[in-house]
Structure 1
Amino acid sequence: MHEAKPLVCSVTYLRVRNPLVIPAFVLQSFRVARAARRTPGYVTHHLLGLPPFPFFFTYSVWESPEAMNAFVATSEHRTAMAAMARWGRLGKFARFSSEKRRVGWRRALAHLRNPDGVWTPTGAHRRAEDVPEQANPPGDVTAA
């Protein structure tokens, strides 16, 4: 019997800097979602915003690391990442694997307690263990 390869998943968190940037962020999020759906190897994605709080979460599921990396290289994703300094106060991401196509928010968000990387306006894309404690402010919904 052929054993299925585990799926590759990514979960992200963004604390928006200012409510005034939310419209531009959401518009680009829709563009990024469209690019994801068009990328070979795409399985699913979800975006969750928690208004009135400036917290946004995404998770996506991919057939392979190559598929996820192809999506990350799209112009839509690169444009969104370039705008992070204008939009974000804090970002986190984690990658994990799943045997199931349906991951669910509870499982995805649990991975942000020990993120693979943390983004701050002054130290973009650092490994989580290199970020000082203040990167997890009191009341941060992703903090352990």
Structure 2
Amino acid sequence: MPQTNRFYHAATSLQIGKWRHLIPFLRLSNKVQNRLKQTPGYVDHSLRANFWTLTFRTYTVYEDYEALESFLYSPEHSEAMRKMGGWSGPESRSLQWISESREIDWDDAERRLAETPTYFEKQARARAQASH
């Protein structure tokens, strides 16, 4: 383990837009989770699911940015991101931050996610800025 007090945290809130995408999403999530655990520099992760709203939250911690980036660009995660483009609902969002703690802190992650614009909000802002 590196001699640092900086850990890289990432959280996502993924809303599946339709029930018919749930089973393929869960299968793909299993592949992604298996890859995550094999990523050098991976520290910990946690998942939360609300099946009523089809909302799934992930929280991962890495030793450094290179580990986070290695996972983000892995074939399994890249495949998931391509497919989520067609599966995701309006409340999907993600973010990353640095912390001195290597611990999962869902209260902090939930607060940060609530303050983060959704993918759709980010796209709308970008279109509005491009038209000015």
Fold equivalence (TM over 0.5): yes
Change in Cα spacing, 1:108 to 1:28, as seen in structure 2 (3 Å) is same
Structure 1 unaligned regions, length at least 5? 133-144
Give the counterpart letter for 1:30 in structure 2.
N
Whether 1:96 aligns to 2:97 is: yes
| CA 1:3–1:85: 2 relative to 1, 3 Å | closer
Q: CA RMSD in A?
A: 2.4
Instruction: Map 1:58-137 to 2 at 5 A.
Output: 58-90=58-90, 91-115=92-116, 118-120=118-120, 126=122, 130=126
- Indicate if the aligned counterparts of 2:35 and 2:76 stay in contact, CA closer than 8 A: yes
1:5 deviates by 2.8
Whole-angstrom CA distance in 2 between matches of 1:83 and 1:20: 13
Looking at secondary structure, tell me which structure has more helix per residue.
Answer: 2
User: Is 2:29 aligned against 1:29?
Assistant: yes
The residue that corresponds to 1:38 in the other structure is 38
When the two structures are aligned, how many residues end up with a matched partner?
126
Q: Indicate the structure whose relative CO is greater, using CA pairs within 8 Å and at least 6 residues apart.
A: 2
- Report the TM-score, using the length of structure 2 for normalisation: 0.83
Distance of aligned partners of 1:131 and 1:111 in 2 relative to their CA distance in 1, 3 Å threshold: farther
Residue deviations 1:21-57 (CA, integer Å, cap 9, x gap): 1111111111111111101000011121112221111
**TM-score (normalizing by structure 1):** 0.77
Q: As a proportion of its length, which structure holds more strand?
A: 1
Deviating above 2 A after TM superposition, structure 1's stretches of 4 or more consecutive aligned residues are 2-5, 117-120, 126-132
Matched position secondary structure for 2:30: helix
Local SS of the residue matching 1:36: helix
Q: C-alpha displacement at 1:3, in angstroms? A: 6.3
Q: 1:71-100: CA deviations, max 9, x gaps?
A: 011000000000012211132011112222
Aligned residues of 2:46 and 2:58 also touching (Cα < 8 A): yes
Q: Deviations over 1:115-144 (max 9, x none)?
A: 2x6424xx8xx4796488xxxxxxxxxxxx
Percent identity, aligned pairs only, is 26
